């Protein structure tokens, strides 16, 4: 078994002294953007905390008016109104003028509510797009830092291979040395 001693005699520089020090290389673990951000909070959690009362009301109305429960409740209300007013003592007799007035007002309000809801959805979509963009920029920064680390590691491996070649040490790629019984 061939072994090469790197310990030189006292007072004489060894082979490692002639090589540049690998210990002086910059650290390989940069402070990445994800490490700077700390614990991640989802955009939705952050967004819900910053909603105003009007924005919460618009979201609630959008979610309730755009559901089958609302449609069923509305149809049930119309049927109950018609049944209650079909008799002679009803407060809104047959052509249901008062009901038509309420439905007209509801249609007008519903148009405004739908516009408010659409505006809110546009604002949410824009905020999500900005959040995605910021996340992508942070990921790009992290990837560039990792690429720089990889390049430095490749350079170090090249330096180490050059040192091994100058020292004429066997490399591991040649496989294990078979044991011989002498």
pTM of the model: 0.50
Span 86-110, mean pLDDT? 87
Residue 2's pLDDT band, with cuts at 50, 70 and 90, is very low
User: Which contacts of 164-167 are long-range, i.e. CB under 8 A and separated by 24 or more positions?
Assistant: 166/15, 167/4, 167/6, 167/15
The answer on pLDDT for 120 being more than 80 is: yes
The answer on pLDDT for 139 being more than 90 is: yes
Give the pLDDT confidence score for residue 9 in this predicted structure.
Answer: 45
The answer on pLDDT for 58 being more than 90 is: no
pLDDT digits (tens, 9 = 90+) for 22-46: 555 555 555 555 555 555 777 777 7
What are the residue boundaries of the structural domains of the chain, listed by start?
Answer: 51-168
Give the pLDDT confidence score for residue 178 in this predicted structure.
Answer: 61
Span 112-117, mean pLDDT? 84
**What is the 3-class SS of 66-134, one letter each residue?**
CCHHHHHHHHHHHHHHHHHCCCCCCCCCCCCHHHHHHHHHHHHHHHHHHHHHHHHHHHHHHHHHHHHHH
Residues making up the chain, counted from first to last: 182
- Higher-confidence position of 109 and 178: 109
């Amino acid at each position: 078994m061939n072994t090469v001693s790197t310990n030189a005699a006292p007072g004489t520089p060894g082979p490692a002294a002639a090589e540049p020090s690998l210990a002086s290389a910059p650290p390989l673990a940069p402070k990445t953007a994800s490490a700077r951000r700390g614990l991640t909070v989802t955009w939705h959690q952050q967004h819900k905390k910053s909603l105003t009362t009007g924005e919460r009301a618009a979201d609630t109305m959008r979610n309730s008016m755009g559901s089958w429960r609302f449609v069923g409740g509305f149809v049930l209300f119309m049927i109950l109104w018609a049944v209650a007013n079909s008799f002679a003592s009803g407060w809104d007799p047959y052509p249901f003028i008062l009901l038509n007035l309420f439905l007209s007002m509801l249609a007008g309000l519903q148009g405004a509510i739908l516009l408010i809801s659409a505006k809110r959805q546009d604002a949410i979509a824009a905020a999500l797009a900005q959040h995605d963009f910021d996340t992508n920029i942070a990921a790009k920064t992290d990837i560039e830092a990792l690429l720089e680390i990889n390049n430095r590691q490749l350079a170090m491996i090249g330096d180490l291979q050059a040192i091994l070649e100058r020292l004429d040490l066997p490399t591991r790629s040649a496989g294990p040395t078979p044991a011989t019984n002498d």
